[in-house]
Structure 1
């Protein structure tokens, strides 16, 4: 298995999608169009790079089930 590509802030995104930083907080960032610049890390973030997020790392908002 190959390691995911790592991207530094200020470099261009290779594709649209979800990205996660490599710090313990795993901050996420979503881009809808390739070619934008990766953002700086949030304050107090100890990350060194962004990488593509795997589906299990992406938090999802779930709507409550309607009453039966």
Structure 2
């Protein structure tokens, strides 16, 4: 898993590098949020009414880890 840079914007379909709550973001924040299950899962498509370009980690939850396999 790659390290997440501060305020890095991730594209829909990218694997989440960290578990936590991601917010839709772009030139203006739309305020949509998506809680990823665990690091390593793919980020969802943006909401239909979203004006943002990707997802930014707003609140990490470091106690959740993807299963090794």
TM range (shorter): 0.5 to 0.7
SS of 2:48 mapped into structure 1: coil
1:45 CA drift (Å): 1.0
Runs of 4+ in structure 1 displaced over 3 angstroms?
none
The count of corresponding residues between Structure 1 and Structure 2 is 54
Instruction: In structure 2, list runs of 5 or more residues that go unmatched.
Output: 61-69
1:24 CA drift (Å): 3.5
Corresponding residue of 1:50: 55
Q: Compare the two structures and name the one with the higher helix fraction.
A: 1
RMSD (Å) for aligned C-alpha atoms: 2.0
Which structure is larger by alpha-carbon Rg, 1 or 2? 1
Please state if 1:21 is matched with 2:24.
yes
TM-score by length of 2: 0.66
Instruction: In structure 1, list runs of 5 or more residues that go unmatched.
Output: 56-68
